[in-house]
Every structure is written in C-alpha cells, then in structure tokens.
Structure 1
Amino acid sequence: MSSQETTTVVAGGGAGHQPTKMKMLYHHAVSNALYLVLAPVAAAVALRASRLTAADLAAAREYLLANLPLAFALLGAAVVLATVYLMRRPRPVYLLDFACFKPGDEHVVTRETFMKQSAKAGVFTDDNLAFQRKILERSGLGQGTYFPAAVLNSPPNPCMAEARREAEQVMFGAIDGVLAKTGVRAKDIGIVIVNCSLFNPTPSLSAMIVNHYKLRGNVASYNLGGMGCSAGLISIDLAKQLLQVHRNSYALVVSMENITLNWYWGNNRSMLVSNCLFRMGGAAILLSNRGGDRRGAKYQLQHTVRTHHGADDRAFRCVYQEEDESSRVGVALSKDLMAVAGEALRTNITTLGPLVLPMSEQILFLASLVARKVFGLDVKPYIPDFKMAFEHFCIHAGGRAVLDTIEKNLRLSGHHMEPSRMTLYRWGNTSSSSLWYELSYAEAKGRVRRGHRAWQIAFGSGFKCNSAVWKALRTIDPAADERNPWAQEIHSFPVEVPKVESVVAPSS
C-alpha cells in the first residue's frame, strides 16, 4: 500500500512519546498486583504450616488412607485433563531465520536515472514528468534503491521472459540465503508459500521454487496472488495454520513483488505514484514446528491478527488495478486510501490489544470506553500505549504519509520509527517484504535482545490490515550475520531525511 495523501488514522493520540513517571508507577503496580495480593496469603499459609504438629500430620495421613478411591479419582481426572490440554494446545511456531534479497549494483536507480528512463519512454507528458519528479523528491526514498533490468534497459523491455528473470533473481537469491543461514536441506521443506500480488505466471511461482530446488513430491505448495502489500503476513498466518497439521515440518515463506510487468506507462496520476515508490526486493522466511528447533531459532510466533474490510465498496476499490483512458493497465490509488487504512488499523489494534497489552493499559482503555458508552461522558477515546507491549515496531514502508500518520497517532518516537523510515529510504517500497528489511535493520543495529517483542503491521489492497507478533528467543549478534542486507553499510544509518509536505495525487 502506498499513498502521498495524509489524514488521521486513529482517533485521539498525542504528541508525547514517553510514559510519565506516574504512569510507569501505575503500570508496575497493576503488573505486580497478583504478587502483592498473594504475598500475604503465602505468608499466612507458611505461618500455619510452621505450627503443624506430629499429631496433625498423622491425622492427615489417616484421612488420605481412608479416602484412597477419591484421591485416585481426582488424580486420574487431573491426568486426563492435562493430557487433553497438551494434545489440543497449538504447536509453537519458530522462525529459524530469514533472508532479504540484495540486488547487485547494476540494478541501482537514482532519482536522476528514474527521470531519465521516464523521459526516454516518450509516453509521459511534461506535466506528469514534473509530477513524478516532485513525488520522488518528497517520497522519503534515497539514491540507492533498485529496479529490475527490464526497466533500466534502454529502451525498457518489459516482457514475460524478463519478469520471470526478475522473479527468479529475487526468490532464489533470498531462498539461497536462508538455507545457507539455517543449514536446512531443501528436500526437508514440507510447506512452500509464495505471495506476489501482481505477477502470477503459469506454472506458478511456488512451482518454480519446487522445480529449481527439486523439492519432494508431497510438498504442500501455495501461491497467493492479488493480496497486496499485507500478503506477507497472510502467508505467515497460513504457514502457522498448516504447521498445526503437518508434524515436524519446515515451512518456507517467500514474500515479493514483481516490477517488470507492472510499471505503468500512462498519464493517470493516481497510477503514477506507484512507479515512484515501488522497488525491487523480496524475502524468504523459514519456519518450523519441531520442538528441537527452539534452541537455535531466532523468534517464536505469538500472534497473528487479520482484518479485512473488503465488504465495504470504498475500501474494496481504494487500491484497484484497472485500465486507464488509454487502455494502459495500472494500479489506481483512491483519495480515500488513508481514511480506509485508518479504519482497518483501528479494527486490527482493537483485536490485537487484549492479546498483547499489559493489564494496566487494558484497564485504562476499558475505563475510557465505559465512560463514553455507558455514562455518556465527553472524554477522548484512550489510545493504548503499545510501547508497553513491544520493543520493536516494523511498520510497512508503503510511503512517507503512512509512516508519518502512524507515528503520530500511535505516539511512537523517532527511534521506534527508524527501521521503517530507513527501509523506505534505502530500499523503497518492496511491498510485502519491507517488514523483513525492517527487522533486519533492528538486528543489524544490535537492538534485538532475548525476550524482546516485535510487532509487524502491514496494509494492503482489499482492503486489509494484518499484524504479526514475534518474541525473540535469543539475543541477535549482528556480527554473526554477514548475509544481513544492511551488514556492510549499517554504520552509515540512520540518515537524516528532510521533512517536507506530501504531494497529493488526484484521482485522475
């Protein structure tokens, strides 16, 4: 999802980024309330136990021997219930490792290269060339993003063969990386899920992977198309569900988008914005449900929350692939896009909040809701402080406007937004894979510690807002991962990205 139009995403919010001392005191009091209540009870039990005599113990033994059938029945019931619970509880899903594709220097596109290629195409009006230049200058993208060869060639040669070539470069490059990191053999992979919204060839992208790596014949293969920038988390959710059924399995998830056949060669401004923001990239993620993999895994998946507002016509059409007046195909972005994203975000965090927020935040949210809905008081809705729940925020780098609005309305600091903003600057909008470049950034900076929680959140056509929550199982050593896409340049980040007003793309 991308847009240059700004509006409010979440009602309420504020400028403050750090909780006050009083709020932290309240948070710790509520978080430790159980211990505060149980401490006197435990002290009373310990005192009573210390006063037991030999006669008391003998009486207890006689009572137990006189009621052996009841004792065995209770013990049996406890064993049965424990067995049923252990069999029915969801299997843990571990993220062994992931890899992001880093194109070669021959794919680098600067703003000057972009404008040169656009002018050479000979299809854009002077006004729309100027419009694209203005979008680029205010997009938050840097001078080192990547395009596939078909777009950089002179003249550009978008065709099926070049699109396949781009897909193979991205997918196989990322998969080779994650297999090298984990040491897992390709033939041991039991589940393959690929998501690519706009390029869906026959045979499918997932079949291309099966063929290239010679995967086994009973591999469960899935190819998700047309699901937009949030499809990466849909793939993670699908893998999680499949790993509840397939025992002792590895699941390979590949998230990407294809630029070659989806460059827009027309003059509809709502379709031109995508040209300026989307760039080449992809990621491969290897998941496991094997208990023995916990020790070596990086993260454990804790929650996935999916929100779909496709039943609403305005949401359904706000990101829409269609032909323009000249029969050229492009993806049109509606002026309602940010408002629709805000509604989807509200729904998503309302579902996610009770799963991840500490009780202190849930009490404040409930009190605000009761005050407004039950007593009719004129109070602002309380926006939960998600900084109490997460140490790392990976927000889809769809565009500067998206990041600005979420930062403001979730009351996040520049530090929390840094992985998303630097990913947009360094790689551009790589669609569903952007979340993994962001998590790679946090790892490369040495910020991920054991027990930390990371929130990935993405928006996509349909309209959808999806979240995934990960818990770090170990401290990540950045020096140990030479394949991290940021490894050779992380010392030069963050960079200062000047703040400028966004450019609004009209609907036509």
Structure 2
Amino acid sequence: MELSMLLSAILLLYSFLLLWKLYEQWRNQNCYILDYVCFKPSDDRKLDTEICGDIVLGNKNLSEKEHKFILKVIVGSGIGEETYGPRNIISGRGEEAPLLADGISEMDECFNATLDELFVKSGISPADIKVLIVNVSMISPAPSLSARIINRYKMRKDIKVYNLSGMGCSASLISIDIVRNIFKSHPKMLAVVVTSESIGPNWYSGNDKSMILANCLFRSGGCSILLTNNPDLKHRAKFRLRCLIRTHLGSNDDAYGCAMQMEDEADRLGFRLGKGLPKAATKAFFENLKELAPKVLPLRELLRYVASGLLSKKGGATAPVNFKAGIDHFCLHTGGSAVIEGVGRSLMLSQNDLEPASMTLHRFGNTSASSLWYVLGYMEAKERLKMGNRVLMISFGAGFKCNSCLWEVVKDLDDRNVWEACIDGYPPQKLANPYMEKYGWINDQ
C-alpha cells in the first residue's frame, strides 16, 4: 500500500513537472518588441532639390535625354527634399570608384547612433544581448558588420550572431523570423536586429535606365530593434508578434531576375530593376496573402469570402477579402508612390490607411529594409497605436520575396521617436513637391 502511494506521488510529481515545463515553453514562445530606434542622419546629409539636381546633372556619362529621364522619375517618386544620402555622393564623388571606407563609415553612423539610443532608452546592457542579427544587403566586409558591433559594445562571447546580405527590402522581417525561431528553443533571451542599407559604395554611375532607377529611389536610413521572449519583461514591451509569413518565388526565373545587382555593358556595377518587377511583386504579394488571411482574419470574414466564392460559381462576382476586418493599421513598404497605391487598391485601403507609408516616403524616402520601422514610428508618433490594435507589416525584396507579419500592440503608445521634430506638420493640407516646381516642365516634353 505504501509502495503504491509512493509510486502515485512520484507519478503525480512527474506529471506536475512535465506540465510546468510545457507551461514554461509556452510562456517563452512569445516574441516581444521592447523598443526600436530609427536612424536620423545629420542635416548635412539632406538631399534637397538643388543637391539632387546637381548630382543628376553632374553625371557626365548621361545624355540630356537621360538627365530628363532621371529628373522625371524623381518628380513622380513621392519623395520630398528632406531625405538623406551618403556623404561620398553628396560631395560629388559618385562617379569615382567607391571606397570600402565610405560604406563602412555609412554603416557605422547608423549602427552607433541607433544602438546607443536603444540601450539608453531600454536600460538593457549590451552584455545582456544573446542574439545579434545584422542585415545589410549591398555590402559584406570582413570582419563582418555584426563583428564591428560586437567589438564596439564588447558583447558576450557566446552571443548568437547572424550577418545577412542580399536579402533586399524584406530583410528586417527575415531577421525577425530568425529571432522568433531561436526564441522557440531558448528561454528568456534578448535579441537585437540591426537593419540598414549601403547606398554610397553602390551608386550607379552609368546610363542604363533600369539601373539608374535605384539611384532615384533609395535613401539612407536604418533601425535597431530590441526583442525578447522573457515573460518577465512583457510589461515593458510595445508589441507582440502574432504571426509571420514568408513567400519566396526564387524558383521562377523571371521573378529571380527582376531585381538584381549586376554590371552594365560597360562593366559598371549597379542594381537593375527590370520590367518584370511589378508582375513578380504582384504574384508574391497574392501568394503571401493566401497564407496570411486564415491566420489574421476573423471566422466571419473567412466564411463570407467562401460564401461569395460559391455564389460566383453561379454567375455572381466574388467579393474581395476585407483585411480591415482583422487588422487595424497597415505598415507598408515605401518602395514608391506606385507601390503604396497599388497595395492600397489590392487591400481596399483608405487614404488614412496609406497616410503613414506615404508620409514616410515623403520625409525619409525608400530606406530599403528599414522603411517599415519609420512607418511604424509615424503611427506611434501620431498616437494611433492603442492597446489591442493589430498592425500588419508588408515588405517586398529581391529574389523575389514578399514577407508579412502581424503585431499586436500591448499598450498605448505615444513616443514621438525619430519623427519628433516634424510630426506636427504631417500630413500637410497639400503635400508639396519641390521637384515638380523646379523640374515639372519635364513632364510636358
């Protein structure tokens, strides 16, 4: 009898410990953002109308027709004149062979500024960071950019480090996905994701129109993000990750080749944006949405869509999916005004929904993988993000890729962040286009 009771007690204790372990694993499955800091370069790096015109007209490899083409692209881009560029281009060295030092200096400015502020704001020590992921697509020096950060902040010897390159504008969500997967098997971790893009050493000095476009659209920027799965820190968090979907069309030759770093006919290195890009982006976008919809939409919306599909087989029209039924805010990649408007039409979004992305494009431009975080910062600075709200991020990238993720706001947010000095002026009654005022005559030719 005593032996039976002892065995029962041991079995009960074992069951309790097993349940406790499962509970602890469940608690650590969450991925929280504690804070994030976007980079605001110094004013001497601003690309106003005059500087942009001087850079374009100063390229001796371009004909008058090609000068007009570039200026026309800038006029219609939706980009304002307070965006930022790399120092070597502003100083007029764009046609010279780029220096590795230019690229590293450009990255150091961003990394050091955002990480310094992030550690101060959060009160977290660099020595406490157990995961570091750095994504910069167009430069990969040795030692790596992640190693430079580890060296500067004297981070721990057992830190898990990932240095991503070539991932394009989708890179920051890929980094978040890596963090999420590490969190699943390692409890109470702190991770930092650093995202930026190297513009200076990758400036295209030739005359191929498909490669000139990158010069017109991309701007300097970056962001550092602090994440954790430690349930003891969740009261300090801003966002909780609900789901993340990655779509990759690299097996398709046309999608693979529509956005590619390569040499032109004169062996000048640049980044080519092909005519197949819109088609590849549309395909990747809808493939991603098909997987995303069941994970983020309420059951009633899914049933409505299924019912609509059944009715369409009898001659009726299929009603589009209403993503606003399960999402409060849309954080769209600022690839350009056409990209923002195109995604907006597909998701049936209002101008108010598109405002954060459009204003970010105007103020900071397309900063590649960090663009999403400037858009998120705009929403926060405008005090739109309230506890329980759901925020959808959508990004595109070479490969060709479309990545999306859903964040839940875990407390009311009102940090004015990188937008502090200008947020009260957005959105203006009329969005000024200084490039139109100076170069608008090009559209009449």
Tell me the TM-score normalized by structure 1. 0.79
Change (3 A) 1:119 1:359: same
Which residue does the alignment assign to 1:438? 375
Amino acid at match of 1:146: Y
Q: Which residue number in structure 1 is paired with residue 395 of structure 2?
A: 458
Residue 245 of structure 1, CA deviation: 2.2
The counterpart of 2:285, out of the listed 345, 348, 351, is 345
Matching of residues 201-216 of structure 1 within 5 Å: 201-216=141-156
The residue correspondences of 1:15-414 to structure 2 (distance < 5 A) are: 82-83=19-20, 85-86=22-23, 89=26, 91-156=29-94, 158-371=98-311, 376-414=313-351
In the alignment, is residue 486 of structure 1 matched against residue 424 of structure 2?
no
Contact 1:140 1:497 in 2 (8 A): no
Cα RMSD for the two superposed structures: 2.3
Give SS of 2:250's match. coil
Task: Specify the alignment match of 1:429 in structure 2.
Answer: 366
* Percentage of pairs with the same residue: 38
**Matched residues in 1 for 2:259 and 2:15: separation?**
54
2:355 is the alignment partner of 1:418: yes
Moved more, 444-453 or 359-368: 359-368
| SS of residue paired to 2:193 | strand
Indicate if the aligned counterparts of 2:56 and 2:70 stay in contact, CA closer than 8 A.
no
The 2-side partners of 1:380 and 1:107 are apart by 52
Assess if the C-alpha contact under 8 Å between 1:450 and 1:473 holds in 2. yes
- SS of 2:348's partner is coil
Cα offset, 1:409, TM superposition: 1.6
Q: Tell me, what secondary structure is at the counterpart of 2:411?
A: coil
Secondary structure of the 2:241 match is strand
Which SS does the other structure have where 1:142 is aligned?
A: coil
Paired residues of 2:39 and 2:110 also in contact (CA < 8 A): yes
CA distance in structure 2 between the aligned counterparts of 1:78 and 1:188, rounded to whole angstroms: 34
Structure showing greater radius of gyration is 1
CA deviation profile, 1:338-390 (whole Å, cap 9, x unmatched): 11111111111111111110111100122234445xxx434434321111111
Q: Aligned partner of 1:491: which letter?
A: D
Per-residue CA deviations over 1:460-507 (Å, capped at 9, x if unaligned) read: 0111100111111110123xx5xx11011101001334799xx9xxxx
What TM-score do the two structures reach when normalised by structure 2? 0.90
Task: Report the CA distance shift for 1:357/1:77 in structure 2 as closer, same or farther (over 3 A).
Answer: farther
The DSSP-based 3-state class of the residue aligned with 2:418 is: coil
Once the 2 structures are TM-superposed, how far is the Cα of residue 247 of structure 1 from its aligned partner? 2.0
Q: By how many angstroms is 1:248 displaced?
A: 1.5
Work out the CA distance in 2 between the residues paired with 1:154 and 1:212.
30
Distance 1:77 1:161 in 2: 59
Change over 3 Å in CA distance of 1:311–1:222 after alignment to 2:
same
Aligned-partner residue type, residue 489 of structure 1: C
The aligned amino acid for 1:94 is Y
2 CA distance for matches of 1:131 and 1:110?
A: 18
In the alignment, the residues of structure 1 paired with residue 152 and residue 13 of structure 2 have an alpha-carbon distance, to the nearest angstrom, of: 53
Hey, what's the Cα distance between the residues in 1 that align with 2:240 and 2:340? 26
Q: Distance in 2 between matches of 1:100 and 1:294?
A: 22
Native 8 Å contact 1:243 1:251 kept in 2: no
State the distance in 1 between where 2:316 and 2:13 align.
53
1:82 Cα deviation (Å)? 5.0
Which secondary structure does the structure 2 equivalent of 1:267 belong to? coil
Please give the alpha-carbon distance, in whole angstroms, between the structure 1 residues aligned to 2:25 and 2:88.
51
Q: 2 CA distance for matches of 1:110 and 1:394?
A: 26
CA distance in 1, matches of 2:185, 2:373: 26
1:139 aligns to what SS in structure 2? coil
Structure 1: gaps of 5 or more residues: 1-71, 504-508
Residue 51 of structure 1 aligns with which residue?
A: none
Whether the 8 Å contact between 2:311 and 2:318 is mirrored in structure 1 is: no
Alignment correspondent of 1:60 = none
Question: Once structures 1 and 2 are overlaid, which stretch shifts more, 243-252 or 302-311?
Answer: 243-252
- Number of equivalenced pairs: 424
Q: CA deviation at 1:87?
A: 5.2
What amino acid does structure 1 have at the position aligned with 2:65? Answer: D
Shift of 1:150: 0.7
Measure, in 2, the Cα distance between the counterparts of 1:368 and 1:452: 28
How many Å separate the matches in 2 of 1:330 and 1:379? 48
Contact map agreement 1:121 1:155 (CA 8 A) in 2 = no
- 1-structure distance, mates of 2:274, 2:195: 25
Amino acid corresponding to residue 77 of structure 2 in structure 1: S
User: Residue type matched to 2:422 in 1?
Assistant: E
Amino acid at match of 1:160: L
Give the letter aligned to residue 347 of structure 2. L
Structure 1 contact 120–155 (Cα < 8 Å) conserved: no
Amino acid at match of 1:490: I
1:178–1:379 distance in 2 versus 1, CA, 3 Å? farther
Distance 1:229 1:258 in 2: 12
Distance in 2 of aligned mates of 1:133 and 1:319:
22
- SS of the residue 1:247 aligns to: coil
Give the Cα–Cα distance (whole angstroms) in 1 for the partners of residues 43 and 325 of structure 2: 41
User: In the alignment, is the contact (CA less than 8 A) between 2:382 and 2:414 conserved in 1?
Assistant: no
Q: Which has the higher contact order (CA 8 A, sep 6+)?
A: 1
Letter matched to residue 78 of structure 2: G
Distance 1:450 1:266, change over 3 A: same
Q: Is the 8 A contact 1:115 1:129 kept in 2?
A: no
- CA distance 1:370–1:259, change in 2 (3 Å): same
* CA distance in structure 2 between the partners assigned to 1:203 and 1:379 by the alignment: 61
